[in-house]
Amino acid sequence: MKRCPTCNKTFTDQNLSFCIEDGTPLLAITDGADETTVVSPHPAKTDQSAETEAYVPRDWQRDYQPPGSFQPAGKKRRVWPWVVGIGGAFLLGIVGLGIVLALMVPKMVRNNANTSNANTIAERPNSNANTNAATPDSNLNSNSANENAGIIDDSSPPPTDKAEVLSDLTEIEHEWTVANINADKPKLEYILADDYVGSTSDGRSQGKAEYIGTIERDTTIEKWAFEDLNVALRGDRATLTGRIRIQSKGQEAVFSFIDKFVWRDERWQAVGSEVAEIKQ
């Protein structure tokens, strides 16, 4: 049997070396010995000083070894901190994923919208729908948007019917005017050929890059009309002559023009223009 010198509890398990309550090393209790027994002096001794018994080291006086991990009976490890930690990590993961999606989705939507707009530029709009342009530009000669096209077969011959060509070029002139008024640079990039050279009403010449780079909106123009349009065909070349009458906030101006076109990539592209104001 063993006893704890701290809490005075006794233990019968001989393999137990430390108190299960406070971890104090246990003391061995000799069977049949009473802890309160008083040791009397040896009877053979006649003097008053009793002979001291030989000192025997006890188990608890040997090198101290700290008790191993021990969990008192009836006490269980708490599980809720683990549950809260795992739940918090999962919640943080969901929040992080939501932030990534919030950043990526608008970007993907903008990219899709830009692609759609680029493809729309390739389509030639109806001239009647563009007649009521909201914000115009003063330059009347300009180029149209780059068509977002793939591989185009150039083997198609140019049209030879003058009435058909006149109708097509008239439509292009309306688109060209609307693009000038609105400073629609993509549309002008499409209408004008890369080798375009034009002269303005003040006699100054400018190429395609300068034309598109300096174009600005003109909010004063209210409406316009083409007059006396004629077309001359020569193979893949076409020359359109005529006049354009422009009304802008109580004022009217008339310009004569000569626009030159070439048949490329299965469409007419402007390669030159001359504009002169007709004094009234």
Domain span holding position 148: 139-278
Do 61 and 161 lie in a common domain?
no
Do 56 and 152 lie in a common domain?
no
pLDDT digits 0-9 by tens, 35-94:
444 444 444 444 444 444 555 555 544 554 555 554 544 555 677 788 888 988 888 889
Assigned domain for 247 exists: yes
Do 192 and 65 lie in a common domain?
no
Do 157 and 267 lie in a common domain?
yes
Do 144 and 272 lie in a common domain?
yes
β-pairing, 192-199 with 205-207?
Answer: antiparallel
pLDDT digits 0-9 by tens, 216-269:
998 889 899 999 999 999 999 999 999 999 998 888 999 999 999 999 999 999
Do 162 and 61 lie in a common domain?
no
Do 146 and 268 lie in a common domain?
yes
d(CA 217, CA 202): 19
d(CA 152, CA 266): 8
- Give this prediction's pTM: 0.45
Do 181 and 66 lie in a common domain?
no
Assigned domain for 104 exists: no
Do 68 and 144 lie in a common domain?
no
Assigned domain for 66 exists: yes
What is the layout of strands, in order, in the sheet containing 27-28? Answer: 10-11, 2-3, 27-28
Do 162 and 237 lie in a common domain?
yes
Assigned domain for 103 exists: no
Assigned domain for 111 exists: no
Assigned domain for 99 exists: no
pLDDT digits 0-9 by tens, 173-229:
999 999 999 999 999 999 999 999 998 777 788 999 999 999 999 888 989 999 999
Do 181 and 58 lie in a common domain?
no
Instruction: Pick the more confident residue, 209 or 111.
Output: 209
Give the CA angle between residues 221, 222, 223 to the nearest 5°: 105
d(CA 133, CA 175): 11
d(CA 184, CA 178): 8
Assigned domain for 134 exists: no
- The count of domains in the chain is 2
Q: Residue 166's domain is classified under what CATH number?
A: 3.10.450.50
Nearest Cα residue to 188 out of 207, 203, 208, 206: 208
Do 68 and 168 lie in a common domain?
no
Assigned domain for 174 exists: yes
